[in-house]
A = this chain, B = another copy of it.
């Protein structure tokens, strides 16, 4: 039997999806599971997007252009303009989800063995895409105690060597909910300039910024026009995870043209998804406001509730719809499994994502979980009750 590739062996299974069989078993025992583990928004897709889907009247569902429809890219320019990001349509490449945008950015910019620095905890699939590209992720630790703020420049510099090619940030951050400040981004800007790195910035949660501080796109950092690659996706913005529409945006023509070669190889991004995404740009202001207000309320409810549970600590996330919380347990993965396998409170339990899956450093984040607030408030409140009961009786609980 022929052997599997090294990168295939190196790839890890999804840290979230590997608990799925335990959740399925719990459900088959009649236990209700509150899913705090997933990033699938429960809020509705904009009606104008759903209407556009129904209105598709084509005889042939044909290829679209490899870079995506011009009409969509033109309309996106106005969207980005409202965030102070000035673009022309030929600086935008439509991708199959934000996932493909990250992969193509790595493929175009990194050689096998090249290094990309990523603050951790980080979105786990960055590691997978780096393995796919043969590149190496060097993580830089951030800590829950100071809200996962970016470390000082010197700590970044300690990681930089002749193989360092890129810095990847996610802002607002998945999984921590952190929003980077002007000061943090100015530091990043200096660093990227000094070492002539690529700055890959994943900003798919820009609509969900709850603090009074502004969202600052990497695309607006002065002097980085040739360094910056913006990763985007409509998945979270419009509850359209399933249509697989993202974007890779750069003013660097060489990067653009190289990414286009990878795009041509895969022919085209999804046709129907583009039609829905384009129409969704017409969602009324009220859609965005209602979604936003809903997340704010959930966030407040969740974070207050978490911090009221003895031994639990969560910083107040300033963006996205996640938090990373510290639990009074030795090993959060064991606890998450136990919640699904050995526990229920009045027939209910919770499913959370062990945060260890978001750290590349062995042992880091061992007592942390990522919690997504994509459940309605009443369910979040009930889940908090169940979590508190679980922690109260969990045998692996640590002393305060």
B261 near A242 with CB under 8 A, answer no
B56 near A258 with CB under 8 A, answer no
Residues of chain B contacted by A254 (CB below 8 angstroms): 1, 4
B128 near A258 with CB under 8 A, answer no
B2 near A109 with CB under 8 A, answer yes
B5 near A196 with CB under 8 A, answer no
**How far is B268's CA from A45's CA once the two chains are assembled, in angstroms?**
18
A11 near B99 with CB under 8 A, answer no
**How far is B118's CA from A97's CA once the two chains are assembled, in angstroms?**
31
A177 at the interface (CB under 8 A from B): no
A99 near B44 with CB under 8 A, answer no
**How far is B264's CA from A9's CA once the two chains are assembled, in angstroms?**
14
A5 near B96 with CB under 8 A, answer no
Residues of chain B contacted by A103 (CB below 8 angstroms): 266
Interface residues of A in 272-328 (CB under 8 A from B): 272-273, 276
Residues of chain B contacted by A132 (CB below 8 angstroms): 107, 262, 265
A43 at the interface (CB under 8 A from B): yes
A196 near B2 with CB under 8 A, answer yes
A63 at the interface (CB under 8 A from B): yes
B270 near A273 with CB under 8 A, answer yes
Render A240-270 as a binary contact track against B, CB cut-off 8 A, 1 for contact.
1111100000001011001001101111111
Interface residues of A in 176-211 (CB under 8 A from B): 196-198
A6 at the interface (CB under 8 A from B): yes
Residues of chain B contacted by A86 (CB below 8 angstroms): none
- Given known pairs A99-B265, A134-B134, the reply for A45 and B60 (CB within 8 Å) is yes
* 23 A-B interface contacts by CB (under 8 A): A2-B196, A4-B108, A4-B254, A4-B255, A7-B107, A8-B107, A14-B264, A43-B60, A45-B60, A62-B242, A64-B242, A96-B266, A112-B112, A125-B266, A134-B134, A242-B272, A244-B268, A244-B269, A244-B270, A270-B272, A270-B273, A272-B272, A272-B273
User: A: which residues have CB within 8 A of B?
Assistant: 1-2, 4-9, 11-14, 17, 40-45, 49-50, 53-54, 56, 58-64, 66, 96-97, 99-100, 103, 107-112, 114, 125, 128-129, 132, 134, 165-166, 196-198, 226-227, 239-244, 252, 254-255, 258, 261-262, 264-273, 276
